[in-house]
Each structure stands twice: as structure tokens, then as C-alpha cells.
Amino acid sequence: MPNLKDIKRRIDSVKNTQKITRAMKLVAAAKLRKAQEAVEASRPYSERMLEVMKGIALRASPEASPLLERRQAQNIVIVVYSGDKGLCGPFNSSVLKTAQKLIAENEGKGISLVLLGKKARDFFKRRKVKTLETILDVARHDQYDLAEKVADIAISAYTEGTADAVYLVFNKFRNVVVQVPQTASLLPVETRTADEEGEHGLADYEYEPSAEEILEEILRRYVISQLHQGLLESQASENGARMTAMDAATKNAKEMIDDLTLDYNKARQAAITTELIEVVSGADALEG
Amino acid sequence: MSDRQETQENLQLEVLTPGRMVAQLSVPMVTLPGVEGYFGVLPGHMHLITKLKPGVVSYEEGGMPRRMAISTAIVEVAPEKVIVLARSAELGDDIDVERARASMEEAKAKIASLPEGDEGHVEAEAENLRALARVQAVEEEE
């Protein structure tokens, strides 16, 4: 028969765990709200940036900027956004799996990585892939500065010719429960989709100082804005995933506590019954 | 007819930063800190895309003059709209002028202490310009 004391101890321990998971859930919920607001707030800027970039890039020839130039992809750079902490469901594993798949698809090409987050670092440490840069404590940085740093690494690799394509792998935030690992193409800059062909280019624009210089600047800022948006989405995803995971953990803990409490009560009943039997049979013995 | 008049007489001004939409309103005119100096934009301006340096964007809102400090930016000007994409933008009313002054002093000290061409020197100069823009956005309003 299970010992009453042991069950009690287990109940207390599960209750403590539940306290922690509940607190983590609340923290994640608060962070998620902030992260979602940040995603929303940055959207108008990136949308306008896309419009302005398209407006000018569509009128420019692909040779106008090295960042528009398509090359046979011999060497690629993959930027991976992971988290610094665990306990957030499939958030890290799914983005790392997607990155791993992209690497496998590009077997034979030169691959270098730009990693954000401890989880990505630990994952790729054991696999021998060249890493250009590792950035930890992602949430503590100014997100735009971070995006700028990553963009400059990607852009210089592309213009120097050490990379012919740059991809970003990150978790896209759908909603609190659903986060989708995605691969986005960063460089060369995608300027047109099929249905937009030839729609622009009517108005005559003036550029100061020169079209090339402005184009360069806009393309750089566009790449930064994409990386920035991705960072914010990744953070919202991380907190959404953590909130969901911790909610499930809290519920599991509750179930466990209920089961253990049932066991405890049963054991208590059994103990009382045994005691009663002992008393009754003791009395019987005296009488007899 | 009156509708057309309206759009002809006003510009749609948008100031955006990566963090938020700072302003979105209809204005009769706006002055921008171009790389070559300040320039004004009226409705019907030709299409133009250019860089802005740290400085003050000024316009009128409901008859009241408004001033906004921006850092380096890109602006798209069209006959009916002006879109400013800046790294940062702050309305004069929201600026802590003492802090702006303090960071200006700090930047100036750095400029003096570091040799020209040093990365810190360049950064300090940019910081000085940004702080100056913020001070100006407040001061000329008073």
C-alpha cells in the first residue's frame, strides 16, 4: 500500500511545479502581448518600405544594384532565428529542423550560418557547419540594431561574392497557438511577383543624390526591415509557444494533483479501515 | 469639385519609424531636412526620392505649427503625398530637452577626445546631429 506521507510529498512537489509553470505562463502572456503589439506597430513601416523599394527597383535594371543581381547559387548564407531558452514547445526544434532541411537541400554548396539564440548555437555546434556570426541574448538587444547588424553581414557577404543567396529561417507568428517555421529569401532582393510585371514605371522620379545611391540605401533598409519584422515575429512566436506549452503543463499538473489526491484519499480510507478492523478484532478478542 | 480642391490643396504626410507610425495627417506644406539643406514641399511637387539628414520636420496641424526631430531618413515625395521613413522620429512636445542637451554635450566631448576617422568619432558626430535636431525641434517652437 502506498505510504500516505509519500503521496502527500508528491502532491506538494507537483503543486510547486504547477506554481512555476503557471507563473511562466503569465510572464509569457505579458511578453506575448508586448511582442504582438511590436509586430503590429512595425507593420506600416515595412509595408511602406516595400512600396517605396518596389517603386524604385522596378524601374531600375537588375544591374543597377549588386543586391538585385541574380547569380547561380554556389554559396549561400542562412540566417536562423532561434530562442535563448527552452520550455517553449516546438518553437526551437521546428525552426532548427527547417534550417537543417534547407542545408540538406543545398548539399554540395558552400553554406555559412548566422545564428541568433543559444538554441541555434548549441544545435549547430555539434554539426560541422561554418558559422559567420552568433548572437546570443536576442531579446536584450535593440531589435532594429540587431537587424541592422545581421543585414550588414548578409549584404557584405553578398556584395563581396562569398554568398550568392541569403535566406532567413524563422517562426512566423500566426496566432498564440500556431507558429509556422518559414524560409524567406533575403538576397537577392525580390522585386516583382508575376502579377505586378510592368504595372509600375509611369511616373518620372527624381533621385537625389543619384538613383544608384538611393537604390542602394533603400535596398539596405528594406533588407533590415525584413530582418526586423522577422525578429519581432520570432519573438511573438516564442512567447506564444511558451504560453501554450506552460498552459498545457499547468493543466497536466492539475490532472496529476487530482489523481494523486484520489490515491491519497483512498490510502487514507484504507488506513482507517485497517485501523477499525484492528480495533474491532481487538475488542472481539477481549470479549471472547 | 470640392473634393478635388481638397486633395490639391493638401499633402498626405506620413512619418514612419520601424517601431511605429509617428504621424499621419493632411498638411498644406511640409519642410524637410534635405542633405543639401532644408526644403519645402507643397502639393503638386514632382516625384522625388531622397535622403534626409538628422534634423527637424516642420508642418502645420490645425493651424498650429508642429516640429518633429528625425534621424537619418528616406523620403518619397509625390504630388499628393510625402512619406518619411526614418530610423527615429519624435514630436517636439515629447522631447526631453534637458536630456537632448546632455547627450549633445556628451557627444561633443567624445568628438573632441577621439581622433578623426575613428569609428567612435563618426558615431559621436551622428549622435551630436541627432541631439541637435531634438533640441531644435523644441526650441524654435517656444
Q: Reply yes or no on whether the pLDDT at A216 is more than 60.
A: yes
- The verdict on a CB contact (< 8 Å) between A214 and B51 is yes
* Of the residues B76, B92, B108, the one at which a domain ends: B92
- Tens-digit pLDDT profile for residues A12-70: 999 999 999 999 999 999 999 999 999 999 999 999 999 988 888 877 777 778 888 88
pLDDT at A194 over 60: no
B60 and B10, same domain (yes or no): yes
Q: Whose CA is closest to B78, among B122, B125, B41, B133?
A: B41
Supply the mean pLDDT for chain B. 86
User: Does B114 lie in the same domain as B77?
Assistant: no
Q: How many domains are there within chain B? A: 2
Q: Tell me, yes or no, whether B39 and B73 share the same domain.
A: yes
B79 and B102 assigned to the same domain: no
What residues of A are in contact with residue B35 (Cβ under 8 Å)?
Answer: 208-209
Instruction: Please tell me the predicted confidence (pLDDT) of residue B133.
Output: 86
B16 and B69 assigned to the same domain? yes
The angle formed by the CA atoms of residues A110, A116 and A122, to the nearest 5 degrees, is 80
| Lowest model confidence (mean pLDDT) among A87-91, A209-213, B20-24 | A209-213
Query: Are B17 and B55 part of one and the same domain?
Result: yes
Rounded distance between C-alpha atoms, residue B66 and residue B73, angstroms:
18
Predicted structure pTM score: 0.86
Based on the domain organization, do B12 and B41 belong to the same domain?
A: yes
Each residue's pLDDT tens digit, B49-103: 999 999 999 998 888 889 999 999 999 999 999 999 999 998 888 888 888 888 8
Task: Give the model confidence (pLDDT) of A225-279 as tens digits.
Answer: 999 999 999 999 999 999 999 999 999 999 999 999 999 999 999 999 999 999 9
Summarised one tens digit per residue, pLDDT across range A156-189 is: 999 998 999 999 999 999 888 899 999 999 999 8
Same domain, B18 and B69: yes
Same domain, B84 and B100: no
- Domain with residue B20: its CATH number is 2.60.15.10
> Is residue A4 within 8 Å of A271, Cβ to Cβ?
yes
Question: What digits encode the pLDDT tens for the residues A48-60?
Answer: 999 988 888 877 7
What pLDDT score was predicted for residue B7? 45
Least confident interval from A24-33, A194-203, B100-109: A194-203
In chain B, how many H helices and how many E strands?
3, 10
> Would an 8 Å CB–CB cutoff place B12 in contact with chain A?
no
Query: Over 60: is that where the pLDDT of A73 sits?
Result: yes
Interface of B with A in 61-90 (CB under 8 A): 74, 76, 78, 83, 85, 87
Q: To probe the interface with A, which of B12, B20, B83 has the most A CB atoms within 10 Å?
A: B20
Report the relative pairing of strands B11-16 and B73-78 from DSSP bridges.
unpaired
Active-site residue flag, A88: yes
B99 interface with A at CB cutoff 8 Å: no
How close B35 comes to chain A (CA, Å)? 9
Query: What value of ipTM does the predicted structure carry?
Result: 0.82
A contact residues 10-69, partner B, Cβ 8 Å cutoff: 38, 41-42, 44-46, 48-49, 52, 55-56
Q: Which residue has the cell 501554450?
A: A244
B114 pLDDT tier (thresholds 50, 70, 90): confident
Q: Are residues B87 and B132 in the same domain?
A: no
pLDDT greater than 70 at residue B141: no
Q: Is residue B58 a contact partner of residue B65, using CB atoms and an 8 Å limit?
A: yes
- All structural domains of chain A, each given as residue ranges with its CATH number in brackets, are 24-244 (3.40.1380.10)
CB contact under 8 A, A205 and B14: no
Residues B104 and B39 in one domain: no
Q: What is the pLDDT of residue B111?
A: 86
pLDDT at B6 over 50: no
Owner of C-alpha cell 533588407: A223
Residue of A nearest to B24 (CA): A44
Same domain, B72 and B43: yes
d(CA A225, nearest CA chain B) in Å: 7
Instruction: Write out the residue range of the structural domain in which residue B133 sits.
Output: 96-139
